Amino acid sequence: MLRQIEGSRAVADAVAMCRPEVICAYPITPQTHIVEALGAKVKAGQLRPCEFLNVESEFAAMSVAIGASAAGARAYTATASQGLLYMSEAVYNAAGLGLPIVMTVANRAIGAPINIWNDHSDAMSQRDAGWIQLYAETSQEALDLHIQAFRIAEDLSVPVMVCMDGFLLTHAYERADIPSPDQVDNFLPGYEPRQVLDPAAPVSIGAMVGPEAFTEVRYLAHARQSQALTLIPEVVAEFTKTFGRDSGGLVRGYRLEDADTVVVALGSVLGTIKDTVDELRGDGMRIGILGISTFRPFPSAAVREALGSDGRVKRLVVLERALATGVGGIVSADLRMALAGGGSGRAAEPVMSTVIAGLGGRAITRMSLRTMLAEAVAGALEPLSFLDLNKGLIEREFIRARRTRRSGPVAENMLRDQGLTARIG
């Protein structure tokens, strides 16, 4: 059924139709609307049997999900930003224990300075936690990915994080096709755990493992997560058959057929990039897009396949909504690894530029993208650059720091400078 609906509500509807048995909630912007909506459904008795726990922290939220999942229940929670970091120890633990929890991450920046707006720093910080990470481009895809996520998680006994851009998707009203509960029931069978706390057949879960087997346990986690590279396309195919639309997957190409320049990105910014690429195509530029839908496991083979091995692609522009401080791009590093994995028979690797963009909710505009991509095509783009960087603001802070030892808190200085600039300008 088509509805004009807030992204968070669409996700809540989808999660509810997946019949979670335990939902734990701790408020943090911008994921709150999702668990609010789910809480209301549970309270109204529309979601039965389901326990909704208001917990005292994100650390507790993931811990409750761990206990619930180990006891054989389908468990769900949502978080963002500081909340994801606060639960990080339990995030790793859930994956280590092989518990198929599904969690929404409403992507938001990490402080300090505190910032509630969107970027991908939070989810990227947990990229090696052992969770599968799926990134949604639209509200519709966020909705769809949650339904797929339970299937993937439970099939592999690996937890899945569905990442959707905070505010841009969680708070935006878009048209979404809401499936019927029957469709979801047909697609998603009941949860059959591989391991469960059962007095009739007692097991110890979470025992200490020493050097004699730890590497093997980790290797298996890697092998199991890697199975998602085969499983996800199958799940998507089945999803398409059941719901009549294609959604998610490993990577999504857009106008790649003859592209010599390819923009790589994740999440909702892909929409803006598509519009920009359409414009640039109109100008005669041979440019396309590679959207990464599955970031963990990293779909190296799918990336290579999408980019071709004939040397047609000369330039890769990796637009990253997170920054590996002191290095640059996070996705870029994985891309390099993927391209290097192609073997020696490949043509020369494309030139790669990393563009850090949209940090802390800064809008990524078509105009800025056009300028940057034109530079890229002209070969003038640095290996690492920051989109729309206000260099004057930074220069002022450098000068201040040179002039006096006690130059004060950086972020607050810059805010004051910005106010001055605004007044003068």
By the criterion CB under 8 A, which residues form the site for another protein? 21-22, 24, 49-51, 53-57, 59-60, 63-73, 75, 89-90, 93, 97, 197-199, 202-210, 213
With respect to another protein, which residue has the nearer C-beta, 58 or 144? 58
How far is it, in rounded angstroms, from Cα 331 to Cα 293? 12
How far is it, in rounded angstroms, from Cα 309 to Cα 343? 10
Tally of CB atoms within 10 A around 240:
15
First to last CA, the chain: 50
CB 331 to another protein: min, Å: 30
With respect to another protein, which residue has the nearer C-beta, 211 or 345? 211
Q: Is 176 helix (H, G, I), strand (E, B) or coil?
A: strand
CB 95 to another protein: min, Å: 12
Say how far residue 18 (Cα) sits from the centre of its chain.
Answer: 20
Where do the H-state alpha helices sit in 244-390?
Answer: 269-282, 300-307, 331-340, 366-377
With respect to another protein, which residue has the nearer C-beta, 212 or 283? 212
CB 84 to another protein: min, Å: 16
Residue 70's Cβ-side half-sphere holds a number of Cα atoms within 13 Å equal to 19
With respect to another protein, which residue has the nearer C-beta, 57 or 180? 57
Distances 366 to 59, 76, 276, 284 between C-alpha atoms, Å = 39, 36, 6, 17
How far is it, in rounded angstroms, from Cα 272 to Cα 159? 30
CB 48 to another protein: min, Å: 9
With respect to another protein, which residue has the nearer C-beta, 203 or 340? 203
With respect to another protein, which residue has the nearer C-beta, 75 or 292? 75
CB 92 to another protein: min, Å: 9
With respect to another protein, which residue has the nearer C-beta, 36 or 174? 36
How far is it, in rounded angstroms, from Cα 285 to Cα 366? 15
CB 191 to another protein: min, Å: 11
Query: Contact at 8 Å (CB) between 233 and 260?
Result: no
CB 281 to another protein: min, Å: 51
DSSP state letter for 359:
G
Tally of CB atoms within 10 A around 232:
25
CB 250 to another protein: min, Å: 31
With respect to another protein, which residue has the nearer C-beta, 74 or 120? 74
How far is it, in rounded angstroms, from Cα 29 to Cα 20? 22
Say how far residue 303 (Cα) sits from the centre of its chain.
Answer: 17
How far is it, in rounded angstroms, from Cα 368 to Cα 276? 10
